Structure 1
Amino acid sequence: MNHQTKKLTYTALMMALTLVMTSLIKIPIPNGYIHLGDGAVLLSAYILGPWGGLIAAGIGSASADYFGGFGAYVLPTFVAKGLMAFIFGYLMKRFPDKNILFFLFPAVFAMVIVYYLFEIIMYGSIVGPLLNIPFNALQGLVGIVIITVLHKPLERFRLTPLKS
């Protein structure tokens, strides 16, 4: 299997995994739900790199919102999760000698900020969306735990080597 076919196949698999992990367990919160999908978002970036991770995480997460009845969140989710994956994948590629934990927190922080900014636009309030910040951060923290546990066992599936 050539590299392009492998990358396309892995991207489709990571989209599906992100959709399933986001949809599988849902814990309701005031404006949405908490899920395990952020683990798949970060795993997408780990396996595919920044651009492949952005596509797989963005489409997979946005699809979960679409099929889960949260259509208003499709665009915010695509941007937030895609950016989260891109930042994590980019920082890993740019600084291959660092521990991946250094890159997880900026990626989660970006996701939380993107959701907050979109919700300001959606709800017309600066104060109301503050309620979701701790929930989005908690969801990101769950993703950090998942990728921390899974990144070593899944290292052989990486398509982008640590050293450029």
Structure 2
Amino acid sequence: MGKSKTRELAVLAVLTALSVVLAFIHLPTPTGYLTLLDAGIYFTAFYLGAKPGAIVGGLSAFLIDLLLGYPHYMFYSLIAHGLQGFFAGWAGRKRLPGLLLAVLAMVGSYFLSALLLGYGWGAALAGIWGNILQNIFGLSVGGFLFLAYIRLEK
């Protein structure tokens, strides 16, 4: 393994760990709570691109479900947040469609997972609003962190 690959792997590991730690910050809402997990995913996707965004998104969501006691959601979260990070990492003219697909992929994946896990249509529909808020919150915080980092880097 070359020096470049080792550095890339280390950066992805640190960003995954930071995203997991951010997920422990909870903000209560009427429908549950919001976490900063998505902020770490969006920051990574904006800074490093689609593939690293998918890796950090999927792995951090997988690990946080394991740590918080939701093992039945681990693989669904891996897919949902992996797709979210991948689409959010699109750049240039594809940025806006990528962000829309990121939201749709995450919300849609959790909608389907609620149905597949047997929670029913009511629970699946009820989760949509919270997942949309989670995306808006994560996109806002992650976007501002990215812009601040770019300014500091100059």
Q: Same fold (TM over 0.5)?
A: yes
Q: Distance in 1 between matches of 2:30 and 2:74?
A: 17
Higher percent of residues as helix: 2
Of all paired residues, the percent bearing the same amino acid is 27
Q: Deviations over 1:26-60 (max 9, x none)?
A: 53776x74211111111121233222221111111
Aligned residue identity for 1:74: M
Q: Distance in 2 between matches of 1:16 and 1:136?
A: 22
Deviates more, 1:57-66 or 1:118-127: 118-127
Q: Distance in 1 between matches of 2:94 and 2:79?
A: 25
Q: Which runs of 5+ in 1 are unaligned?
A: 159-164
* Number of the residue aligned with 1:109: 104
TM-score w.r.t. the length of structure 2 is 0.85
* Number of the residue aligned with 1:142: 137
Q: Distance in 1 between matches of 2:73 and 2:121?
A: 17
Deviates more, 1:140-149 or 1:98-107: 98-107
- 1:1-164, aligned counterparts within 5 Å? 2-25=3-26, 27=28, 33-89=33-89, 91-92=90-91, 96=92, 98=93, 100=95, 103-123=98-118, 125-155=120-150
The verdict on how the C-alpha distance between 1:11 and 1:29 changes in structure 2, with shifts beyond 3 A counting, is farther
Task: Quote how far apart the aligned CAs of 1:125 are.
Answer: 2.2
Q: Which runs of 5+ in 2 are unaligned?
A: none
Q: Distance in 2 between matches of 1:46 and 1:2?
A: 23
Task: Quote how far apart the aligned CAs of 1:153 are.
Answer: 2.5
Check the 8 A contact 2:43/2:143 in 1, yes or no.
Answer: no
Q: Deviations over 1:68-109 (max 9, x none)?
A: 1111111111111010001111x22xxx2x495553232112
Q: How many residues align?
A: 152
